[in-house]
Chain A
Amino acid sequence: MNFSELFKLSGLLGRFSPDGKCLASCVQHRLLVRDASSLQILHLYTCVDQIQYLEWSSDSLFILCAMYKRGIVQVWSLEQPDWHCKIDEGSAGLVASCWSPDGRHILNTTEFHLRITVWSLCTKSVSYIKYPKACQQGVAFTKDGRYMAVAERRDCKDFISIFVCRSWQLLRHFDTETQDLFGIEWAPNGCVLAVWDTCLEYKVLLYSLDGRLLSSYRAYEWPLGIKSIAWSPSSQFLAIGSFDEKVRILNHVTWKKITELEHAATIASKQTIVYKEVEKSPTVGTERLSFPPTRELASSLFSTQSKYDISQVPVSLQYIKPVADRANPKVGVGMLAFSADNCFLATKNDNIPNAVWIWDIRKLKLAVVLEQLCSIQCFQWDPCQPRLAVCTGSSRVYLWSPAGCVVVQVPGEGVFQIISLSWHSSGDSMLLLSKDNFCVCYLEREE
C-alpha cells in the first residue's frame, strides 16, 4: 500500500472524476485538477469566491463549483480550459447545485426552496420546477440518468414529480401518503422509487416509475422512525435503518420484511467475529535511538499505533446513552451501505459510535463487528469488490474484506485526521480527506 504526500485542501472538496482519470480538489477559491495516477496538476482554475461545493459532470468533462454565499455557480471545462460559464442566481439565492445526469444541465435550488432552476449548457433554455420540498433528499435521479424524481410540497401535501431528464418534461405527478416526506431514492434499476416519511413516523412507500403505489411498509407506530435507507445494487433489497437501532430488509418481490438486524451492545453469537482495535506502543530498539533523535523517529515514538485483535465473544461494545429530550438524538442506524456484490451490508448504530457492523446478506447474519478506538466518521465500500474502508478521524485507515482486516497508518509528519474517504472507481486507490489535507492511497492489485 502506497500513499501520496499530503496536499492542501479546503472544505473536504476532493473528488475523483467519474472516469477515474482526474482528481479535482479545492483550496479556497482555487480548483486544482490533477492526474489521478501521477497527481500532477493538469489544470488550475480560479473561482470568484471560496468554493463550497464541487461536482464532476457524468462525462468527466466539466466541473461545477458552487459558491452558495454569493449565489454563483462556475463551470469549468477540461477539454477547453478557456471555456468558462458563470451562473448567477441573483437575489433568489442558492442553497444547492448539482449536475443533471447528462452533464449538460445544472440544477440550482434557490433559497427557501422557492424553485429549482435548470440551466442548460447547450441551449439558452431555462426551466423552473416550482415548489420543491425542503428536505434532506428531495431530488433523485435514476442510475441510468433518464428520470428525475422531485419531492414537492403544495397545500400542505406531499407530491412527487417525475421528469424525463432529456427534455425536462413532466412524466408523472402524484401525491404521496406521507405526513411530511423526508427523502426519496430510486432503486438502482430505476423502476422503483422509495419514499420515506419524517422521523416522527415510520413509513416507507414504494412507487413504480409510472406512479403506482407498489407497497407501503410500517414497522411500528409511535417511536421515532426511519433514519437512513439504502438500496442493494441489485435492487433486490431495501435496507431501512431506524431509530430503534434496527435495520429491516425488505425484498423486491413482495416488499415484505425479510429480516430484522438488531444492533445490540453485546455480541454473543459465536459466528460473529469481533475485531477490536487496540493501541500498541511502538517498540524501538535501543541501538536505533540516537541523540538528538531524528524527527521521523520522534514522530513515530509519539504517535500511537494500533492493530486489530480478535475479541472473544461475548463482547460488550461501548454504548452511549442518548439524551432523550434533545432533537435528533444520537441513536439508531444512521449509516448503511451495501457492498458492490450485494453480499454484505455495513451499518453504524449511532449510539454505539465506535463500531461498524458488517452483515452477511446471504446468511442474513452478523458476520463481523469492527470495534474502533474512535467513533466512525465515514465508511465506503470498494466499488469493485467486497472491501470496506473505514475512517475514524485518526491518521489511520481501516480496511476490511472477508479475508480479514488491517489498520494502515498514513505515513507523514503532522496531524492528518481522516474524516472522509472516497474510492477510485477502479477500486485501486482511495482518496483520504482531512479538514486541511488530502492524500491518495494506492492499493496493490491482487493478482
Chain B
Amino acid sequence: MGDWRTITVPVLSSDSQNTFLYTSERKTSPTSMSSQVLRLSLPSSKNMHSFFSAFCTEENIEQSISYIDRELTTLGFPSIYAESKGKELNLVSMVNCMNELLVLQHKNLRAQEEIEIQHLKLGSDMDHLQNCYAKLKEQLELSKREIVGLQEKDRQLQSKNRNLHQLLKNEKDEVQKLQNIISSRATQYNHDMKRKEREYNKLKERLHQLVMNKKDKKLAMEVLNYVGRADGKRGAWRTDKTEARNEEEMYKILLSDYEQRQKQLLLENTELKKVLQQMKKDIISLLPPQKQKPKERPEDGLVLSDQEEDIGELNKENMWELSCETVREQLTNSIRKQWRMLKNHVEKLDNQVSRGHSGALNEKDVISREDHELETEKLELEIQQCKEMIRTQQQLLQVQQLTCDDDTTLLLQDCYLLEERERLQEEWRLFREQKKNFEKERKSFTEAAIRLGLERKAFEEDRGAWLKHQFLSMTADCKSEKMTTPSAFLRSSDPDIRLMRSTSRQRRPPSVLSPTVSPEPCQISQYITQNSVASEKPAADNKPNLWVESDDKEETEECTKSWEDSGLGTLCRNLHMEQLP
C-alpha cells in the first residue's frame, strides 16, 4: 500500500539551509485526505492513550466501534464490519486497519522526528543568519561612518582644491602681469638700444672724422721694399671687367660645388640602385618556394604575376639607366609588393617559430601574457566576489528598509516559505513530466503486447489453415481421380478457402477498404481500446491519442508487414483508422 502514498523528506541543499517537506501523492487521492492523515498523526502517543481510555467503555462499545468504523471508512480504510453479516465485526479487517494505523503512526512519528530535527537545524541556521545579519549591520554602520568620514575628507580636499585653484589663478595673473612687464621692458630695452646705437654710431662717425681726416702722421706703413705677390702676378686695376670676372668666378665656384654635389648624389644613387637591384634579385630568389605553392590566396597570385613581370623587367637592365621619373613608380610599386610578400613570409616564419618555441622557452613576452591572464582571472574573481557582496548587501538593505528589526525574522520566514513553494512547484512540474513519460512507456508496452498477441493469433491461424490446406490437398489428390466436377467442391462453404480469399483481399492497399468488413473489426478495436484504458493507471490524464499519433508512422509499416501474413489485417487496419482521425 505504500506505493500510493509516500512521504519523502529530501534535503535539497545544505547550503541554502532551506529544507522543505515534500509529499508525493497519488493524483486520484484528494488533498483533503492527506491533510486529514497528517492531522491524525499529530497527537503524541501519550495523548492517544488517554484519549483511548476515555473513549471506549463497556457501555458505549457499540457506538465506539461504529464511530471508529465510520472514521476509518472516511479515512479510506475498509469497513471493520463484515459486510455480509451486518453489525458483526470483521476481525481481519480490523486487525489490518490497526496495523495500518500503527504503521502510519510509526511513519508519522519518524516524519515528526525528522521535522523536529529539521526545525532544530533551521533554528540554528536562523541564529547563524541572525548573527550574520547583525555583523553585516555593524559593518554597514561602520561603512556608513567611513563614508561620512570620507565625505568630510572629500569636502576638505575640495575646499583645498578650490584654494589651490584660486592660488593658481592668482599665479597665472601674476605671470601674465610679469609677461606684460617683460614685454614692455623688452620694447623699452630695444628702443633704448637703438637710441644708444644711433648715438654710438654718431659718435663713431664723429671720431672717424676726427681721427681720419686729420692728417695723422703716425698712420703709415714703413716697409723696406714691397714684395711680390704670392701668386707672382701683379695687382689688377679695378674695372667693370674685373667685377664681371669676379662674378663669373663666383658662379663658377658655385656651379662646380653644385656639380660636385650632384656627382656625389649620382654616385650615391647608383650605389643605392645597385643595392636595390641586389635586394630585388635576392627577394626573387628567396620567394620562389611560395610560387610552387598552389595559389592559395587570390592576392598571392596577383603578386606572383607582378613578380614574373618584374623578372622580365630585370632583364632589361637598361631600364635602370633611365631617368628615375619614368621608372620610379613602377620600380617602387614592384619593390613594395615584393617587400610585402617577403614581410608576409617572414611573419609566417616568425609565427611558426614562436609557435614552436611557445611552450619550451620562457620568452618574456609569453610570461607577461600568462601573468596578464592570471591577473585578469584574479581580477574577474574579485569582481565576482564584489558583485556577490554588493548583492547580499543590497538584499540586506532592502530587507532592512522594508521591515523593522522585529519582523525581519517573519519576513525572512515568508521569504523562505515563498522560495520553498516555488521549489515545490518546480519539483511538482518535474514529477508530472516524469509521470507522463512513464505513462507513455506503459502505453507503448501494452500496445506492443497487444500486437504480439494478435500476431501470434494470426500466425496460429495461418498455420492451422496451411495444415488444413495441406491435408485437404492431399485428400483432394486422392479424390481427384474420383471427382468429376471440381466446381462443386469449390462451391462448398469451406472456411479455409474463404480465409484464403480474405487473405488475398487484404493484400490490397489499405486505403481501399471494403465497407462490408468494417463493422466487425470496429468492435474489436473498441475492445482493445477499452482494454488498454483498463490497463492504464486511472490517474492518467494525458492524451493518449497524441502519443499514438506520434508513433503512427513506424507502427503502420510494421503493421502492414505483419498484417500481410495474418488474416486479421483488416481488423488491425481498422483499429488504426479509428485512432487516426
Q: Which residues of A contact B (CB under 8 A)?
A: 58-59, 77, 82-92, 102-104, 112-115, 119-126, 146-147, 153, 155-156, 164, 166-167, 169, 171, 189-191, 208-210
Residues of B within 8 Å of A210, CB to CB, are 250-251, 254
- For B247, give its contact among A59, A119, A156, A171 (CB under 8 Å): A171
- For B221, give its contact among A83, A87, A164 (CB under 8 Å): A87
Please determine whether A209 and B254 come into contact, CB atoms closer than 8 angstroms.
yes
Residues of B within 8 Å of A167, CB to CB, are 235-236, 238, 242, 246
Complex Cα distance, B207 from A91, in Å, reads: 10
Query: Considering only CB atoms and an 8 Å cut-off, how many residues of chain B contact the other chain?
Result: 39
Identity of the chain A residue whose Cβ is nearest the Cβ of B226 in the assembled complex: A122
19 interchain pairs, CB-CB under 8 A: A58-B230, A77-B227, A84-B223, A86-B223, A88-B221, A90-B220, A103-B230, A113-B204, A121-B223, A124-B226, A126-B221, A167-B235, A167-B236, A169-B243, A189-B257, A190-B253, A190-B257, A209-B253, A210-B254
Given contacts A83-B224, A121-B226, A208-B254, contact A164 B246 (CB under 8 A): yes
Please determine whether B246 and A104 come into contact, CB atoms closer than 8 angstroms.
no
Residues of B within 8 Å of A59, CB to CB, are 230
Residues of A within 8 Å of B222, CB to CB, are 84-88
**Surface stretch bound by A, among B6-14, B208-216, B486-494:** B208-216
Complex Cα distance, B197 from A160, in Å, reads: 18
**Min CB–CB distance B111 → chain A (angstroms):** 83
Complex Cα distance, B257 from A143, in Å, reads: 14
B50 within 8 A of A: no
Interface string of B232-252 (1 = CB under 8 A from A): 000110100011001101110
Residues of A within 8 Å of B247, CB to CB, are 171
Residues of A within 8 Å of B47, CB to CB, are none
Complex Cα distance, B201 from A156, in Å, reads: 9
Residues of B within 8 Å of A92, CB to CB, are 211-212, 216, 219
B231 within 8 A of A: yes
Please determine whether A171 and B253 come into contact, CB atoms closer than 8 angstroms.
no
**Min CB–CB distance B55 → chain A (angstroms):** 106
14 extra A-B contacts, CB within 8 A, seeds A91-B218, A112-B204: A77-B227, A84-B222, A114-B207, A115-B208, A126-B221, A156-B198, A164-B249, A167-B235, A171-B247, A171-B250, A189-B257, A191-B257, A210-B250, A210-B254
| Residue of A114, A167, A190 most packed against chain B (CB within 10 A) | A167
Please determine whether B254 and A90 come into contact, CB atoms closer than 8 angstroms.
no
Complex Cα distance, B251 from A82, in Å, reads: 43
**Min CB–CB distance B189 → chain A (angstroms):** 10
Residues of B within 8 Å of A126, CB to CB, are 221
Complex Cα distance, B223 from A155, in Å, reads: 37
Given contacts A122-B226, A124-B226, contact A146 B253 (CB under 8 A): yes
Complex Cα distance, B211 from A126, in Å, reads: 16
Interface string of B181-214 (1 = CB under 8 A from A): 0000000000001100110010010011001100
**Min CB–CB distance B285 → chain A (angstroms):** 31
Number of A-B contacts (CB under 8 A): 109
B543 within 8 A of A: no
Complex Cα distance, B235 from A122, in Å, reads: 8
Given contacts A90-B216, A156-B197, contact A104 B230 (CB under 8 A): yes
Identity of the chain B residue whose Cβ is nearest the Cβ of A121 in the assembled complex: B227
Which residues from 238 to 280 on chain B have a C-beta closer than 8 Å to any C-beta of chain A?
Answer: 238, 242-243, 246-247, 249-251, 253-254, 257
Given contacts A104-B230, A114-B204, A123-B226, contact A156 B194 (CB under 8 A): yes
Residues of B within 8 Å of A155, CB to CB, are 201
Please determine whether B208 and A102 come into contact, CB atoms closer than 8 angstroms.
no
**Min CB–CB distance A56 → chain B (angstroms):** 13
Given contacts A92-B211, A112-B204, contact A83 B254 (CB under 8 A): no
**Min CB–CB distance B229 → chain A (angstroms):** 5
Please determine whether A112 and B257 come into contact, CB atoms closer than 8 angstroms.
no
Complex Cα distance, B204 from A87, in Å, reads: 23
Residues of B within 8 Å of A90, CB to CB, are 211, 216-220
Residues of B within 8 Å of A120, CB to CB, are 226, 235
Q: Which residues of B contact A (CB under 8 A)?
A: 193-194, 197-198, 201, 204, 207-208, 211-212, 216-231, 235-236, 238, 242-243, 246-247, 249-251, 253-254, 257
Please determine whether A169 and B253 come into contact, CB atoms closer than 8 angstroms.
no
Complex Cα distance, B257 from A210, in Å, reads: 13
| Residue of A119, A124, A164 most packed against chain B (CB within 10 A) | A164
Complex Cα distance, B317 from A7, in Å, reads: 68
Identity of the chain A residue whose Cβ is nearest the Cβ of B227 in the assembled complex: A121
Identity of the chain A residue whose Cβ is nearest the Cβ of B225 in the assembled complex: A83
**Min CB–CB distance B443 → chain A (angstroms):** 87
Complex Cα distance, B220 from A113, in Å, reads: 19
Complex Cα distance, B230 from A59, in Å, reads: 8
Identity of the chain A residue whose Cβ is nearest the Cβ of B195 in the assembled complex: A156
Identity of the chain A residue whose Cβ is nearest the Cβ of B219 in the assembled complex: A90
Identity of the chain B residue whose Cβ is nearest the Cβ of A93 in the assembled complex: B211
Residues of A within 8 Å of B217, CB to CB, are 90
Please determine whether B211 and A114 come into contact, CB atoms closer than 8 angstroms.
yes
Please determine whether B207 and A104 come into contact, CB atoms closer than 8 angstroms.
no
Complex Cα distance, B224 from A89, in Å, reads: 18
Please determine whether B235 and A125 come into contact, CB atoms closer than 8 angstroms.
yes
Residues of B within 8 Å of A85, CB to CB, are 221-224
Complex Cα distance, B230 from A13, in Å, reads: 25
Given contacts A86-B221, A190-B253, contact A102 B226 (CB under 8 A): no
Identity of the chain A residue whose Cβ is nearest the Cβ of B186 in the assembled complex: A200
Please determine whether B216 and A191 come into contact, CB atoms closer than 8 angstroms.
no
Complex Cα distance, B229 from A124, in Å, reads: 13
- For A104, give its contact among B197, B224, B229, B254 (CB under 8 Å): B229
**Min CB–CB distance A337 → chain B (angstroms):** 24
Identity of the chain B residue whose Cβ is nearest the Cβ of A126 in the assembled complex: B221
**Min CB–CB distance A170 → chain B (angstroms):** 9
Complex Cα distance, B235 from A190, in Å, reads: 23
**Min CB–CB distance A325 → chain B (angstroms):** 15
Residues of B within 8 Å of A114, CB to CB, are 204, 207-208, 211
Identity of the chain A residue whose Cβ is nearest the Cβ of B251 in the assembled complex: A210
Residues of B within 8 Å of A104, CB to CB, are 227, 229-230
- For A169, give its contact among B228, B229, B246 (CB under 8 Å): B246
Residues of B within 8 Å of A77, CB to CB, are 227
**Min CB–CB distance B420 → chain A (angstroms):** 71
Complex Cα distance, B230 from A156, in Å, reads: 39
Complex Cα distance, B231 from A125, in Å, reads: 18
Complex Cα distance, B243 from A87, in Å, reads: 29
Identity of the chain B residue whose Cβ is nearest the Cβ of A101 in the assembled complex: B230
Residues of A within 8 Å of B235, CB to CB, are 120, 122-123, 125, 167
Complex Cα distance, B217 from A167, in Å, reads: 27
Complex Cα distance, B252 from A210, in Å, reads: 11
Complex Cα distance, B242 from A109, in Å, reads: 27
Please determine whether A102 and B220 come into contact, CB atoms closer than 8 angstroms.
no
Complex Cα distance, B220 from A84, in Å, reads: 14
Task: List the 5 closest pairs (A to B, CB-CB), nearest first.
Answer: A90-B219, A90-B218, A90-B216, A85-B223, A191-B257
Residues of A within 8 Å of B231, CB to CB, are 102
Residues of A within 8 Å of B230, CB to CB, are 58-59, 102-104
Complex Cα distance, B217 from A375, in Å, reads: 48
| Residue of B217, B223, B228, B257 most packed against chain A (CB within 10 A) | B223
Please determine whether A209 and B250 come into contact, CB atoms closer than 8 angstroms.
yes
